[in-house]
Amino acid sequence: LSLPFLFVEGAIIILVVLYTKYFIVEIQPLGAKIVYFIFFYLMVALIEAHIFKAWLTEPGGISPEWSRNNLKKVSFPGEISKGKFYTLYPELKEHYENLPDKTECVYRYCFECNMVKPLRTHHCSLCNRCFLKMDHHCPWIANCIGYHNHKNYFIFLLLTTMMGFIIFCTLIKPLIMQFFSEHIASYSRLIAIIICLVISAAFCVGTFLLIITHFYIIRNNITSVEYYDYTPASSPYSYHDCCRNMKSCLGENPWTWILPTGPNLKEDGHHFYDLTSIRNMGERSTVVGELNEPKKYTEISQLNIQN
């Protein structure tokens, strides 16, 4: 656990307790109170489930077997890294020295983890590990956001923004009425409403800005790390289809996006293909639509095309 994570959890608990005591219990009639209570606490339960899921889920580690199988496909940024690699794997020196000039070596090697890194994989200096399709390290949940927990992080942000907006909108009127009334019935209630408004406004502003950012990168099938490298038009990983790009992060079935489960993606996070290259080959209609089919998936991987 980290202090930012505890801070967020503490703020949510304070907000929910005060909102329940000074607003929900006062709703009339009883039927409306019950319906609103169920709706609100279902939303809170989903928020808590998603934040804990994002915190506890492994963002995506590199498979040792995959790394071993791709030791002959490493690209070196310079002679120093190449020398360090030959020190670790002297038996591969002859292989790389005899490679044809046009041979594509597309993967990088992490000397911290001693693993070949799949495309879109990055090393987190705070976690001291490489993660598949790493987006960023989030101090608020004390974990990296990557291939397996980006969905939970995004839905947590979305629901928290909704909760903050609902609480702010429902409490702003009682606060105004308190200020314009000749007699304040309860100072404790007034202070509680102000506290709720401050916390909900902070959630609305903070998480809404993150929602805009992450909706943009998910709909374009890029990550925060790749944000500065690609535009929506130039991203080699984009299907140029908002729904398809969203599914590649949140899961194939939109009806399960809200559930606090993993994204249940068909891919394993190690293989990404350059869709721009595939489209340029004139195969968009047959390949992109069937990218996740096992037979077609194998055929594409044999083309040595990256995405």
Residue type, 140: W
- Identify the active-site residue in 130, 138, 144, 249: 138
DSSP line for 240-264: S-HHHHHHHHH-S-GGGTTSSS---
Residue among 293, 264, 40 at smallest CA distance from 147: 264
Report H helices in 143-241.
150-180, 187-219
What is the Cα–Cα distance from 275 to 230, expressed in whole angstroms? 14
Residue among 255, 307, 296 at smallest CA distance from 120: 307
Active site residue 249: no
Q: The dihedral of CA 239, 242, 247, 250: what is its sign?
A: positive
**CB neighbours of residue 181 within 10 Å:** 9
Q: The dihedral of CA 123, 127, 128, 132: what is its sign?
A: negative
**β-strand partners of 143:** 138
What is the Cα–Cα distance from 145 to 55, expressed in whole angstroms? 9
CB 267 within 8 A of CB 276: no
Rounded to the nearest 10 degrees, what angle do helices 150-180 and 3-22 cross at?
Answer: 40
The catalytic residues are 138
